[in-house]
């Protein structure tokens, strides 16, 4: 899954999720399901008049989500499944 960030002329930002090119409204639970199944998000799509800092921030956010997901999934492999053992 890719997250798609779009900024329009009114500076409004829309976030969508893309599955193999099929774009849908962003739903947090869908993202969590993908993270649990695939272990990571694909590189985000950033469209519109975003500043370089905004683009960097979006990319950093996705990278951090992927990093925490990898760490959490790795930690859960060696536990009894209790969420108390997972890093937050």
Structure tokens at 21: 């090119």
pTM as predicted: 0.81
Mean pLDDT, the chain, integer = 90
pLDDT at 80 (0 to 100): 47
pLDDT at 65 (0 to 100): 97
**What are the extents of the domains in the chain?**
2-81
Cβ pair 35, 69 in contact under 8 A: yes
Query: CA-to-CA distance for 40 and 31, rounded, in angstroms?
Result: 9
Other residues' Cβ atoms within 10 Å of the Cβ of residue 9: 7
More confident residue, 7 or 77: 7
Is residue 29 exposed (0-12), middle (13-18) or buried (19+ Cβ within 10 Å)?
exposed
């Amino acid at each position: 899954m890719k997250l798609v960030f779009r900024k329009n002329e009114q500076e409004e930002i829309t976030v969508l999720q893309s599955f193999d090119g099929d774009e849908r409204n962003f739903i947090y639970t869908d993202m969590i399901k993908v993270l649990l199944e695939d272990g990571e998000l694909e590189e985000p799509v950033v469209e519109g008049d975003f500043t370089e800092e905004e683009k960097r921030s979006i990319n950093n956010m996705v990278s951090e989500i992927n990093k925490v997901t990898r760490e959490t999934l790795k930690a859960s492999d060696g536990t009894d499944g209790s969420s108390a053992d997972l890093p937050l």
